[in-house]
Amino acid sequence: MAGNLGCAVFMQHNSYTCGELGFFTDRLAEAGLVCFAAANSPALMAAGSSGRPVLGTNPLSFAAPTGAHQPFLIDQASSQTAFVAVREAAAAGNDIPAGWAIDCRGEPTTDARAAVDGSLLPYGGHKGANMALVAEVLAGLAGGLWSVDAPSFTAGEANPGIGMTLFVVDPSFAAAGFPERLGTHLDRLAEDYNVRIPGRRPRASSEEGVVEIDEDLFARLQVAARENISRKLGQA
For 108-153, the pLDDT digits (tens) are 999 999 999 999 999 999 999 999 999 999 999 999 999 999 998 8
For 46-101, the pLDDT digits (tens) are 998 888 999 999 999 999 999 988 999 999 999 999 888 999 999 999 999 999 99
For residue 215, the number of C-alpha atoms closer than 13 Å in the C-beta half-sphere is: 0
> Given this model, what pLDDT does residue 202 score?
53
What residues contact residue 207 under an 8 Å CB cut-off, 6+ apart? Answer: none
Task: Given CATH 3.30.1370.60, say whether it is the number of domain 2-79+122-235.
Answer: yes
What residues contact residue 26 under an 8 Å CB cut-off, 6+ apart? Answer: 63, 71, 73, 75, 199
> Given this model, what pLDDT does residue 173 score?
94
Q: CA-to-CA distance for 148 and 70, rounded, in angstroms?
A: 37
For 41-51, the pLDDT digits (tens) are 999 999 988 88
> Given this model, what pLDDT does residue 209 score?
66
For 152-190, the pLDDT digits (tens) are 887 888 899 999 999 999 999 998 899 999 999 999 999
For 186-232, the pLDDT digits (tens) are 999 999 999 999 987 655 444 566 778 899 998 998 898 888 777 75
pLDDT reading at 11 higher than 90: yes
Query: What is the side-by-side strand order in the sheet with 34-39?
Result: 7-15, 162-169, 34-39, 60-66, 69-76
Report CA Rg, the chain: 20
Domain boundaries, the chain: 2-79+122-235
